[in-house]
Amino acid sequence: MEIIIAKNYDEMSRISAEIIAAEVRKNHDLTLGLATGDTPVGTYKELVKLYKEEGLDFSKITTFNLDEYVGLAPLHENSYNYFMKENLFNHVNINPSRVYVPQGNTNDPEIFCEWYENKIKEAGGIDLQILGIGRDGHIAFNEPGSSFASRTRVKALYKETIEDNARFFKKEEDVPRFAITMGIGTILEARKILLIANGKKKADVCAKFIEGPVTSMITASALQLHCHATVVLDEEAASMLTRTEYYNWVRDNKKLVQKKIGR
């Protein structure tokens, strides 16, 4: 895992947007996996800026969102579909026919999940998957105890996740108890992974998933099994890591090594 520590949320957002933009520039047909939540809002703002100021071209990319609440229609203001339109899709030249977000109000979640997995395969797999992390260590909605082999399915949300997400709803009772989510197995098949996290409340879980043992109790620790995972944290989220000096040294000297080998 490559660990990049940014000064603050804004720098984390700029660095992560630049990592995504570099992949889009390299591969116009990129298949991009997307996350919702507070964390990537700044990253999406930066991507919109790159589209408006530099003409970063999203017209040929395909996107797959990680998850969606069961029971919420795409137009519901708390749906992740709505979130994506508000924060990214409505502001860049993305082709709506290449955008996939799990359908929360499907009549048959099981068939839908199988269809979603097939769509990802048909698109040639995910090239770069963006992730946030929950306080309980979840990635997408793979709550503690999720199998590392899991695929897209319906998952019951953990108490902590419901509490955390209540801020988006009028009251906690309104937070759906279930979500359709890509599995850990689905996520680990992405060619590259970029996880972003900020704030003190993520410090403990970031130290655990980066420097602790691989365990399904912290599903983000599965990223230790991935050969191309990058983590961008702000200083607060990185504050409980024990090897900060090493990560910073690697980051600063990476350019030097690349220069030496002529990249």
**In the annotation, is 38 catalytic?**
no
The verdict on 163 binding ligand F6R (CB under 6 A) reads no
Closest to 36 (Cα-Cα) out of 201, 147, 164, 170: 164
**Dist. CA 162–CA 126, nearest whole Å:** 28
Q: What are the CA-CA distances from residue 210 to residues 1, 115, 164, 196, 233 (Å)?
A: 8, 33, 22, 12, 11
The verdict on 66 binding ligand F6R (CB under 6 A) reads yes
The verdict on 35 binding ligand F6R (CB under 6 A) reads yes
Window 39-58: contact mask with ligand F6R (x via CB under 6 A): x-------------------
**Dist. CA 23–CA 3, nearest whole Å:** 18
**Dist. CA 254–CA 260, nearest whole Å:** 10
Cβ at position 199, least distance to ligand F6R in Å: 8
Tokens of 241: 């890591």
Residue 140 or 184: the one with the smaller Cβ distance to ligand F6R is 140
**In the annotation, is 91 catalytic?**
no
Window 118-147: contact mask with ligand F6R (x via CB under 6 A): --------------xxx---xxx-------
Cβ at position 80, least distance to ligand F6R in Å: 6
Q: Residue 80 in contact with residue 44, Cβ under 8 Å?
A: no
Tokens of 213: 């043992």
The verdict on 67 binding ligand F6R (CB under 6 A) reads yes
- Cβ-closest position to ligand F6R: 132
Q: Which residues bind ligand F6R (CB under 6 A)?
A: 35-39, 66-67, 80, 132-134, 138-140
Instruction: Give catalytic residues, as residue numbers.
Output: 67, 136, 138, 143
